Amino acid sequence: MVNKKRVLFLYNGGTIGLVAEKHDGQTILMPPKDSKVFQDACEPTIAALGKDMKITFEFVTSKDSSNMTPNDWEKLIFRIKKAQDEEGYDGIAIVHGTDTLAYTTTALALALHGREVGKSGLRIPVCLTGAQNPIYEPGGDGRFNLENLFRTLDEAIDREVADVLLNFWDKVLLGCRSLKMSERKFDAFESPSYPEVGEIDSRGVHLRLPLIHMKKDSNGKLDLAPKFGRGVISFELTPGIDPNVVLGFITGGGISAMILKSLGEGNVCSEGQYNMLPVIKQATEEYQVPIFITTKFPGGSMVAAHYEGGVAAIKAGGIPCYDQTDVAVDVKVRWLLGNGIATRSEDLQKAMRTSYAGEVTPPEK
């Protein structure tokens, strides 16, 4: 008798589990009052996969993903560690709301792979998905994505993957490279600065293993880096944004780091009354608040090498973030500060060009 793969299935809220209810004559989607409603809806899918996997359902939360916080990330991180190190699960499947799904996958990847590059203790695949429609809705993507969640995890276990993956529609993405691109399209997630690590078609799940962390590379011991710092704020730069408004956040206190989402590849206004360079310089030198320069354009890369405005921002003290998504930058900065991996400017510069979980393409020296 072949031993079945042991899979822990975590229900972590989101649209996929919402139920339609009437309120004041209007139908709105609400979290289920009882997680068994969602569990029962998943049962046909779980039963169909029962010949190969033993799936254990567990409720974590039913709240909307816009209410997720780093505290929720930490809860998942420690649950995954226990499932791997103490309970012997072969893989983890998680359903999650789409609005902050990319934040969670990035947080899990960084925390589970840890602070020491090349010394990850993750030995099992962790796969996440969500949906634009509830699982109960005919013609939607809820059941489709759920089925593919387990298909992806099944293949990942067979291939001895040890990474955080996100499957959505017909794609498999590296968790820390994913980005939500649409509120309505079924094909809602992309990996704009890194290749897709797999695809799903009528013949199955096809993973591109050279792009994924594997079990053979694990050191076996899962040393977590599960904390995420507070006081990180992001500004999207637009024409005419007042530098004094930006500086006011810093002088008001409570800010541990600031992320500027730039106009292109790191470009900031560098002349006239809207010149951001003095703010960057004053923040980093006088107030010791690191300023990270990223791009708000999917697939962009903040390299500060092509345009005068980008070069000037780095010379003023800004820290370039290369081809990391703006989501990954936000999560990584919190992660670096929260775990004390880097706090000084020179250490943060080095950390932002270091790939801990595959979240960045290190620049050529």
pLDDT the model gives residue 10: 98
Please report whether residue 62 resides in a domain. Answer: yes
For residue 304, pLDDT over 50 is answered with: no
* Domain co-membership, 58 together with 141: yes
* Domain co-membership, 197 together with 278: no
How wide is the angle at C-alpha 287 spanned by C-alphas 292 and 274, nearest 5°? 60
For residue 364, pLDDT over 80 is answered with: no
Which residue segment(s) compose the domain that 294 sits in? 232-352
For residue 288, pLDDT over 90 is answered with: yes
* Domain co-membership, 191 together with 280: no
* Domain co-membership, 242 together with 332: yes
C-alpha distances in Å from residue 188, one per residue of 25, 83, 84, 130: 30, 30, 30, 10
Please report whether residue 362 resides in a domain. Answer: no
Please report whether residue 114 resides in a domain. Answer: yes
Please report whether residue 357 resides in a domain. Answer: no
Show the tokens assigned to 158. 């067979």
Please report whether residue 211 resides in a domain. Answer: yes
Please report whether residue 160 resides in a domain. Answer: yes
Rounded to an integer, the average pLDDT of 251-256 is 92
Which amino acid makes up residue 291? I
Instruction: Write the CATH number for 62.
Output: 3.40.50.1170
Three-state SS annotation for 327-357: HHHHHHHHHHHHCCCCCCHHHHHHHHCCCCC
Instruction: Write the CATH number for 338.
Output: 3.40.50.40
Please report whether residue 110 resides in a domain. Answer: yes
Q: At what angle do helices 35-48 and 142-158 cross, to 10 degrees?
A: 60
Q: Which of these, 323, 314, 237, 242, lies nearest to 281 by C-alpha position?
A: 314
Which residues have CB under 8 Å from 70's CB, separation 6+?
A: 107, 228, 334, 338
* Domain co-membership, 99 together with 196: yes
For residue 303, pLDDT over 90 is answered with: no
Overall domain count for the chain: 2
pLDDT digits (tens, 9 = 90+) for 137-183: 889 999 999 999 999 999 999 999 999 999 999 999 999 999 999 99
Please report whether residue 289 resides in a domain. Answer: yes
For residue 184, pLDDT over 80 is answered with: yes
Show the tokens assigned to 262. 């730039």
pLDDT the model gives residue 286: 95
Separation of alpha carbons 328 and 174, rounded Å: 12
pTM: 0.94
Query: Which of 217, 240, 263 is the last residue in one of the domains?
Result: 217
Res. 307 pLDDT band, cuts 50 70 90: low
